[in-house]
A and B are shown apart, each in its own frame.
Chain A
Amino acid sequence: MRIVLDRAKCTGIGICESLAPDVFEVDDNGDLVVLHAEVPSSAEADVAAAVEGCPTQALQFEA
């Protein structure tokens, strides 16, 4: 599973980071850094919650 981030939609609200801290991190400019585009299976459930929890629908899973 890969994460696809739509930077145009992401506003750095950071909900994804609070749900899946090993995978997402917002930097000082408010830009989201995807630490692992290739999601480790241990983090899949967290990332799924992040995809659902993103208020701007900026995240998508790609098989």
Chain B
Amino acid sequence: MSSQMDSPGRGALVVVGASLAGLRAVESARKAGFDGRITLVGEEVHLPYDRPPLSKEFLSAGAPIDHVPLCGRSEFADDYGVDVLLGEPATGLDLDARVVHTRERQISYSALIIATGVRARELRGTSGLAGVHVLRTLDDARSVRRALDDGARTVVIGAGFIGSEVASAARERGLRTTIVEALPAPMVRSVGPDLGPALASLHERNGTTLICGQEVTAIEGTGRVERVRLADGTSIEADLVVAGIGATPATEWLAGSGLPIDDGVVCDEHLRAGGADVYAAGDVARWHNPRFGTSMRVEHWSNAAEQGARAARNALFPAVVEPYRTVPYFWSDWYGSRIQFAGIADGDEHVVVSGDLTGERFVALYRRGDELSGALTLNGQRHIMRYRRLIARGANFDEALALAETMAYRHPTTRS
């Protein structure tokens, strides 16, 4: 066991989790002028890569199977001067000694950023059955891609965003595709009671069978999956099963460290976790978002990128900390349509201000009290960010409706 014993005073930044948030943390540390030692510790053997394409372009027929890392070895070494440890998960944290443990070594820090993201929830009782996958990592995506290349009859379990993208990729190849959702209506929690089904209708319109209100009782097969058994006794033939049933924060390595964990690493508005000079960023972080006055944890790309950068600056320059205040935003691509959401979905009501819920495009706004709290668009790229800005400054719902009026009657922009 070797050990690197930089004294905290000299400044040693350790970032655990070598993905988007972790990468943005080290980039931002250097850009902000930190010149101490930086160590990036990653469990996966891959250099940081981007996840959104894994359920989109990457799954389409003929797309390149190689991935382009977000940052190469030489960039890490030469441009950023970062020690990158890959395939070496952190196994423990000692807050008093300010040390991160891996199986191979102990790494001292003066500032620590936790960016270990989330792990996809697996279906119980399916280990050892080939053809059953989750989709979180590049390795997962390669397995799913191979099965699609082989023409698999595909069953997706869970009608969420990632599962829906997988279904869309399978249908685009003309494969027989079914989504099974345990809840009576799809995506109620993520976008609301009417809007979830409106989005989900894209599945049926594109030839994917969507079965709601059915629990999966068994995944059957000898050695490899053959069929998915449902609660009503029926079964669906399958060569590929992809579980899109959510994810859990990767905090198991922090157990016993004393760091407060509650569905994520608990942080204040500065992304500071409950230990001296410890911060968290990205999908793993549950922080207090001053915009909504509440604690939240979001699993979205821009949130992870921005929090990584903010956490590093706050950790290294604590005299000038800034809160991380944001309007959550994500996009998803199904059957060539783009879905975009900004804000939070738990409003009092929503109003469709453009298009209609059965059509190819719509814009829906969420009201909470008299405030605009969220916006959902289907093929409404021109609209979404305008509402996101309104939400950011706490605009009135009436103001949003007034904006909608002007948007509806504006001629399509011509490209300059």
Contact = CB atoms under 8 A, between A and B. Distances in A.
A25 B302 contact: no
A30 to B, nearest CB: 4
Contact of A27 (B52, B338, B382, B389): B382
Interface residues of B, number: 23
Nearest to B410: A28
Interface in A1-52: 12-15, 17-18, 21, 25-31, 33-35, 52
Contacts of B329: 15, 18
B155 to A, nearest CB: 28
A15 B388 CA distance: 10
A35 B338 contact: no
Contacts of A53: 302, 305-306
Contacts of B188: none
Contacts, number: 51
A55 B413 contact: no
Contacts of A12: 338, 381
A25 B413 CA distance: 9
B388 A27 contact: no
B413 A28 contact: yes
A8 to B, nearest CB: 12
Best-buried of A18, A21, A29, A35 by chain B (most CB within 10 Å): A18
Interface string B282-316: 00000000000000000001100110010000000
Contacts of A13: 331
User: Which of A13, A35, A53 has most chain B Cβ within 10 Å?
Assistant: A13
A27 B384 contact: no
B205 interface: no
Interface in B366-416: 379, 381-382, 384-386, 388-389, 412-413, 415-416
Tell me which of B340, B382, B386, B413 has the highest count of chain A C-beta atoms within 10 A of its own C-beta. B382
Contact of A55 (B301, B379, B412): B301
B50 interface: yes
Contacts of A26: 381-382, 385
A27 B383 CA distance: 8
B388 A30 contact: no
B344 to A, nearest CB: 16
Interface residues of A, number: 20
Interface in B42-59: 50, 52
Contacts of B412: 27-28
A59 to B, nearest CB: 14
A27 B305 contact: no
Given A21-B389, A53-B306, A33 B381 contact: no
Nearest to A25: B413
Contact of B384 (A14, A29, A31, A34): A14
A35 B416 contact: yes
A14 to B, nearest CB: 5
B340 A14 contact: yes
Contacts of B386: 21
A34 B416 CA distance: 7
A12 B331 CA distance: 10
Interface of A: 12-15, 17-18, 21, 25-31, 33-35, 52-53, 55
15 contacts: A12-B381, A14-B384, A14-B385, A15-B302, A21-B385, A21-B386, A25-B382, A27-B415, A28-B381, A28-B413, A29-B381, A30-B379, A33-B415, A52-B309, A55-B302
Given A27-B381, A33-B415, A55-B305, 18 more contacts: A14-B381, A14-B384, A15-B385, A17-B385, A25-B413, A26-B382, A26-B385, A27-B382, A27-B413, A27-B415, A28-B382, A30-B379, A30-B381, A34-B416, A35-B416, A53-B306, A55-B52, A55-B301
